[in-house]
Structures are given as structure tokens and as C-alpha cells.
Amino acid sequence: MKQEIINAHIIDPDSGFNDISNLYIDEKTIAHIGKTPPESFHADHTIDAAGQWLFPGLIDLSAYLREPGQEFKASIESEALAAVSAGITQLYYMPEPETSIDNMPMVNLIMKRARAEKKVRVNVIGAITQGLKGKQLTNMGGLKYAGCTGVSNQRQPFSNTRTLRMAMDYAATYNLPLFLHPIDHALVGNGCVHEGPVATRMGLPGIPVAAETTAIAQIIALIEELDVPVHLCRLSAASSVTLVRTAKQRGLPVTADVAAHQLFLTEMDISDFNPLCHVQPPLRNQRDLEALRQGVADGTIDAICSDHQPHEIDAKLAPFQQTEPGISAFETLLPLIVRLSEEGSMPLDQAIASVTIRPAEITGSQQGRLQVGRKADFTLFDNQDFWQLRASDLVSQGKNTPFEGWSFSGKSSKTFIQGKCVFDRTSTS
């Protein structure tokens, strides 16, 4: 089928295209972008997107879909729908202890379930070590053969630095991107919040910034020695941004991301023991938040992700320290990205780049851009749809969001993957 999306404000950070124009689709691919179609193009279906923005489909570098094993929290079915409702067309499914993704049958199962939903593209990140226990390396060659697009040990510790070094060397052999969470677990201890005055006043054990920066320094030292590219996951502190910036200036192959909530929330948001703000790494202070925003603006931090972690209601009902960390974040990712531009932190096209072309470059994905001949993955965003978030309205099975009551300007109205509309808000409202 041939389709045309007319009168949309098309923004493609990769090419720099930013204008009101039309996009033409021939079956699964983009046939043309411009105000007039090719002479031989005759659309079977027309969508008038006047007043809406058209972005490349979002690429989310971190999501926990919980299936198999934790369907009481969420499922691939529920979260795939939540993702496309938020304009996300491609996501990276991270391993966790309950779903460690350390063998080929597990990878095959997840990919089969994801394909059955026929919605978001799910890329699987395999485990670096068996059961994420940090001791015995997985068969990374087998994981790649099964379809894994990267490996990680999630937030779990390595038994020693030698194991980490071997993992980096082994992953490079198979050209598997390394997603490493910089954490010195000895310094984390039993901490649950940022170490500082707020933690002291609340009587909660703190996590020092050094728990992150010492791990980054160690990883950078190994990168320099082995010349192995590494992606650092979820920076949270100003000092971390400085370390990564210096490493990049030295030409080391390192990239980094930040979770969207770290750009809007600080330790002050937990001052009433709000368990919905219990995240790892912890929310830090205003200076850290501003440094993280600057890091995204100047390219030190390459990408912004949702770090989507849906939970059941009970997971957030215990005393703060005993609650499970994480936010249900798919549906606030793009609205928060747009807000970064509205607040003047960076131009809109640069903000959109952090969730499209930049993560695509990190992972080697061919998506994240609007280009003739590429798969037609994009989202229409109605920036005149002003709304207030209610957790009960989230499409995700997880309702654990700290943004309850926040007002946002804009929602994805339609999402397309390979030229097919996989989400239409008008048909679900």
C-alpha cells in the first residue's frame, strides 16, 4: 500500500530537515520527503497531519519488560503496546536477575514473543555472566547468533576486575556492544538514596557519588588498555559527566546515556519519603541535574533513555528503603524530551536526536532517521494535546510513576513501524 502523510512538521535530526512537508511511503519504506510526490506515486491512503510534528521513531536504550518470569509486574504484550503508544519504535530489553537472558533458548523465547505482538521492535541485550552472578562468562558468540545486539551485567557486580576485563575482551571478539553500569558495589553498601543532607535528615543510608565515579575511572582505564568500545549506562552525577567528557576528548571509544527522570527530579523529591522516586542510581542534587542536562546539550552524554521498570502496586508500598527501585517510564519519555526544549535546555531537534539518531549510532541501528529507502518508522506527535498525567491512565501495566499530576504538552497520536500504523490514539480513546 502507498501512503502519504501531508502537512506535517517533519523534524529529522540526522539530516537537519525541519519544515512543514509531506512524507510518502511505498509499502514498508520511505519513498520521498517533500511537498510534492514523485510523478509515479499515487497514494492509496492519505493522512492530514496539519498541526502535528513528525519525528523518527524513538529508540529506547533501556527497558525491562519482565517476561518471562515476572508477569505479575508486566508482560511483553502490555509493554509493547505502551512503547508504541509513546512513539517508541525500537527498544533494548535489558537482562535482570529474574530474567537473566544468559542462554540461546531464553533469547529465542523473548524474540518469538516480541514478534508475535507485531508492535515495537525488541532488541535483546544478553547477560555477560551466567545468571548475572559476575563469575562465569556466558557464551557470547551463541547469544549473538541467537540475535542479541549487545551484552550487559545489568546492575549486578563482577566478582573481580579480572572478570570484567575478560568480559570486555570477549565481547569485542564478537563485536557485541558492551552496556556497563558504573557501580562500585562496595561503596554502595546498603545505600538507597544520594549521600547528602537530605539522606541525613531522613535517616536513610546514602550512596556517594564516588560509587559511580570510581567505577567509571576503572572502566575508562580498561577501555584505554584494551581499545574496546563501551557504553556507560545511567550517569547520575556531575563528576561522572566530567570523567566521560575528558575520556572523549582523549579519543577513547566511550558513549553514555542518562535516564530522562534524572533530568527533572532531584533528591528533594524524596524528602517526603516518596517511594515512587526510589530509583537506582539515586536522584542526586540540583548541581548534578544541571550538569547532566549540559552533558546532553554538548554531546558528552549521547542518549536519553526511559529506563522503563514497571512494578506491581505492592512493590512501592513498603517503607522507602524496602521498596523496589524503578519507574514506569515509556509514556513520559517523549513529553519530557519535548519539555527539555520548552525549558530552553537545548533546541528541539537536538533533544529529539538524543532518542533517535544518537542511540542508533551507539547500537549500529539503521533506524532513528527519516531517509528515502529506510524503513518507515516514525511517530506523529500532537503538540497541542495538553494533558495531565494520571497513573491510572498509563497504558503500561506498571503504574509506578513520580510524575502523577504533572502537565505536559503533546502526545504521540500515531506510531508507524515499517509503514504500518501500530498505534492510533484516535481509535483507542
The third-level CATH classification (topology) of the domain covering 2-54+373-428 is Urease, subunit C; domain 1 (2.30.40)
The band of 426, judged by pLDDT with boundaries at 50, 70 and 90, is confident
307 a catalytic residue: yes
Q: Considering the chain, what percentage of its residues have pLDDT values greater than 90?
A: 97
Three state DSSP letters for 300-319: CCCEEECCECCCCHHHHCCC
Rounded average pLDDT over 374-402: 96
pTM of the model: 0.96
* Main-chain phi, psi angles of 172, to 5 degrees: -65, -30
The band of 429, judged by pLDDT with boundaries at 50, 70 and 90, is low
pLDDT of 28 over the 90 cut: yes
CATH superfamily for domain 57-363 = Metal-dependent hydrolases (3.20.20.140)
Grid coordinates representing 240 are 561522572
Across-strand partners of 228?
A: none
The band of 428, judged by pLDDT with boundaries at 50, 70 and 90, is low
Mean pLDDT of the chain: 96
Query: For 147-190, what is each residue's pLDDT tens digit?
Result: 999 999 999 999 999 999 999 999 999 999 999 999 999 999 99
How far is residue 216's CA from residue 262's CA, in Å, rounded to a whole number? Answer: 18
Q: CA-based angle 191:197:202, to the nearest 5?
A: 60
pLDDT of 347 over the 90 cut: yes
Give Cα 201 to chain centroid, integer Å: 32
Neighbour tally for 223: CB within 10 Å: 21
Rounded average pLDDT over 248-262: 98
Residue that has been written with the C-alpha cell 527530579 in this structure = 265
Domain boundaries in the chain? 2-54+373-428, 57-363
Residues 244, 248, 250, 251, CA torsion sign: positive
Contact in structure between 79 and 327 (CB atoms under 8 Å): no
Among candidate residues 26, 102, 307, 349, the one labeled active-site is 307
Contact in structure between 367 and 360 (CB atoms under 8 Å): yes
Residues 6+ apart with CB under 8 A from 146: 104, 107, 108, 111
pLDDT of 313 over the 80 cut: yes
Across-strand partners of 55?
A: 379
